[in-house]
Amino acid sequence: MASPPTIAMGVDKLSYEIFSLLESKFLFGAANGCLSSGPGTPAKAIFDGGRVRVLAIDGCGAGAEDALLAAAALARLEAKLREQAEDPDARVADFFDVAAGSAAGGVLAVMLFLRGPDGRPRYSAQEALAFVAGSVGKKDWGSRRGRWAKVFRGSRKGDATFQRVFGDATLRDTVAPLLVPCYDLATAAPFVFSRADAVESDTFDFRLRDVCAATCASGGAVASVKSVDGLTAIAAASGGAAAMGNPAAAAITHVLHNKQEFPLATGVEDILVLSIGTGASASVSCGSNAPMPTRTPSPRDLARVTAEGVADMVDESVAMAFGPACGSNYVRIQGGKGPAPLHAETVAAAAGAMLAQRNVESVLFRGRRLSERTNAEKVDALAAELVKEQERRRRSPLPNVAIKQLATPRLSSATTASSGTTTARTASSMPSPASWDSRR
C-alpha cells in the first residue's frame, strides 16, 4: 500500500507542527495590533490581492442536527453574498479559496465545491440545506432509522445517497482546493484527502462519494476506499472523531505551506477564516435547569464529548494565534443545543434558533466570553468582508492564489470542461428535495 501524502501525518507530529507554528507567530510576530509576517513581504505590500479565504466546517457528530447549523449559516451567507455582490447566481465557493470539512462538515464542503458540467459550482448552499433537511424524514432527528443516520453507519442506502449526489466525480472535480480528513485504521494516523495531492497523482485521487463515506464512517463502521488507480487503500473511520474534528488549523497550515497555490500567504494576517462548529451534543449535554442524566454514557457519547473538546481546543488555539485580528480575520460560528423536539416540521425553526444564538469565543488575554454578536450577525458581517475581498482581488495586478491545474486533464462523468475553462452560469442539476424523498 502506498504511503499517505505528506499532510497526512501522525496526530502528535501534526499537532506539534500546527501549534508550534501558531505559537511562534503569536510570541515573536506581533506588531501593530496584529500578527505580522515582518519586513520580508514586499510583494504583499505592493501587490495587495487581499487575504486567502478559508472555509472550515466541523464534524463532531453523526446526526443531521450537526450539519444543520453549518448548512443554515452557509445558506444565509450565500443569500447575503448574492444581495451585496448583485449577482443572483453567486455561490459560496466563488468567495472562498480553500475548504476543509470533516464528517457532516465534509459532506457540505464537498457539495459546495463540486464542479458541475458547466465549470461552475454544481450545488448552491440552499440546495445543501435542503439536502440536510430532507434527510430527516418524518421521525425524530435522533432516530437510527433516518437516512442521515444510515449514511453515517456506512449502509447501502448511505452509499446510494452519495452515488446519487456525487456520481463518479473525484477530488480533481472541485472548483478550489479541498481538504477532508478521516482516520486511517491501517496506519493508526489521520489521513487527509486533498485536491492538491490528487492533481499531482492518481494515487491520491479518490472519488468524492468514497471521500464522504470515509469521513462519515462512525458507530463502529469502517469505510474501505481506494484511489482511482487502486494503489492507495484506506480503512477509514470518521474524521469527526479523529484529531481533525475541527479542520481549521489543518487548513491554515495547508495555506501557509502551499507556496505553489498561495504564494503570498506568509502569516495568519494574510488569511480570512470562517470556522463553523456544530450544535452541542443532545445526548450528553443539558441546560442549567434540566435534570442531570442518570444513565452511564455510552462509548459513542464519550467519543463525541472528546471530539467536541478537541474542536474547542483547536478553536481556542487558532483564536489566540490570530490575536487582536480575531473577529475580523478569524470568525467562529458555534451553535448550542437546538430546540426540542426536533422533527422534520421544525427544521426551519431549529435552524433559525441556532443562528440567533451567541457562542462562547476566545479573547486574547481575557479567556472566554459570550460573543456580543449572534451567529446570524456574524454571517452578515462576513458577507460584506468577502465581497470587499473579491473587489480587492479584481484590482490587484498579481493574483495571490494560483490553483493547480491538471497537466493532462482526466475527464470524469461529472466534468465536461476543464477546471480552467470559464463558461456561462447555468442552473444546478441537483435533484430536488422531493425527488430525494421519493427515493428513500
Contact 326, 317 (CB under 8 A): no
Radius of gyration over every alpha carbon of the chain, rounded to an integer in angstroms: 20
Grid cell in block for residue 221:
463502521
* Residue whose C-alpha cell reads 463502529 in the numeric block: 220
Strands (E), 167-321: 178-184, 189-194, 223-226, 233-237, 271-276
Neighbours of 118 (CB within 10 A): 19
Q: How far apart are the first and last CA of the chain?
A: 36
Residues 6+ apart with CB under 8 A from 105: 56, 57, 58, 59, 67, 70, 240, 247, 276, 278
Taking the mean position of all CA atoms in its chain, how far away is CA 283? 24
Query: 45 phi and psi, to 5 degrees?
Result: -70, -35
- All residues at 6 or more sequence positions from 159 whose CB lies less than 8 Å from its CB, including other chains: 209, 213
Residue 248 φ then ψ, to 5°? -60, -45
Q: Known catalytic residues? A: 102
Query: How remote is the C-alpha of 297 from its chain's centroid?
Result: 28
Query: What is the C-alpha separation between 184 and 133, in angstroms, rounded?
Result: 30
d(CA 67, CA 205): 26
Asked whether 104 and 279 are in contact (CB, 8 A), the reply is: no
Cell readout for 295 is 444513565
Give the number of other Cβ atoms within 10 Å of residue 315's Cβ. Answer: 25
Rounded-to-integer distance, Cα 247 and Cα 180, Å: 8
